[in-house]
Amino acid sequence: MSQHPRTSAFAPTPDPLTPDRDVTHQHFRAGETVVVLKGVAGGELWGDSMRVVAPSWHTPTDEDGWRLRDATGGAQSYVTAHPRYLVHLSRRCPDCVIHLRAMEDALLARFAGREELIDCGWYTTTALGHLVHIADIRGGR
Ligand SMILES: [Zn+2]
């Protein structure tokens, strides 16, 4: 996993896997470290590393989510995310490793040879602090 390099580029790219990922709420526990994958940098996936704080309702999907703390988040240090957005960093669990490998397979070749940070633009944060995937934004909400 890369740290954030200085330069970045925005590259609208479909997320091939996250919207259909099947992961339960109880797959995660408070205290674990997770990453929300956001793009590619220097030939590796990159994302925001966060700590799982507590169960929290994820309003954009009307499903159980997790409150997360982003140590580098500034004014938005806390966000609520759906479990399928999260990948374990604190333990090498098979489910998350498979997802990570599949994301690498789908994305790294596409951005081969690009060194800058590429934000694929999959996530936004609502005014109420909910992290929402572009596939979960439904009309009129
Ligand atoms: Zn996992």
User: What would the pLDDT profile of 3-31 be if each residue is shown by its tens digit?
Assistant: 555 567 777 788 989 999 999 999 999 99
Name the stretches of the chain with pLDDT < 70.
1-7, 138-141
Rounded to two decimals, the pTM is 0.88
Mean pLDDT of the chain: 90
Give the pairing type, strands 86-88 and 78-81.
unpaired
In a domain, 2, yes or no: no
In a domain, 141, yes or no: no
In a domain, 1, yes or no: no
In a domain, 82, yes or no: yes
Give the pairing type, strands 117-119 and 8-10.
parallel
Q: 44 in helix, strand or coil?
A: strand
Q: Are 131 and 123 in contact (CB under 8 A)?
A: yes
Residue 34 CA to ligand 1 center (angstroms) comes to 8
Residue 7 CA to ligand 1 center (angstroms) comes to 30
In a domain, 3, yes or no: no
In a domain, 69, yes or no: yes
Residue 23 CA to ligand 1 center (angstroms) comes to 8
Kindly state the DSSP code that residue 130 receives in the 8-state scheme. B
In a domain, 87, yes or no: yes
Based on the structure, what is the number of domains in the chain?
A: 1
Q: Which domain holds residue 104?
A: 8-136
